[in-house]
Structure 1
Amino acid sequence: MSQEKFADAIDSHQVYISEIENGKKIPSLTVLYKVARYFDLSLSEFTALVEAKMT
């Protein structure tokens, strides 16, 4: 999926998504929530998956 389509799906902007991916921005809690909901996860499930990947 393109950044543009993903950004549209979570009601964000492609440039913001790109900046997050490139480490130039830190996503807001609202954006993290929208990402989690996009993948049909709760925010706690989403963060647990991210945490597991980082360890």
Structure 2
Amino acid sequence: MISSSSPHKIFKFRSIYNSSSIFYLHFLVLPLFECNLINVVNNPSTSIMRG
């Protein structure tokens, strides 16, 4: 009984974790990407050197 209900809880937790991590990743990466894009527009040579 415990072994049959345990994987379901783990799977549910993993799905919630995956969705939340994608959610946070989206909000962390998007501002960085926008800032990098602004830097590229303002100063192309330095951003290319920086990577």
- Highest Rg: 1 or 2? 2
Between structures 1 and 2, the one with greater helix share = 2
Structure possessing the higher relative contact order (Cα contacts under 8 Å, 6 or more residues apart): 1
TM-score (norm: length of structure 1): 0.25
TM-score (norm: length of structure 2): 0.27
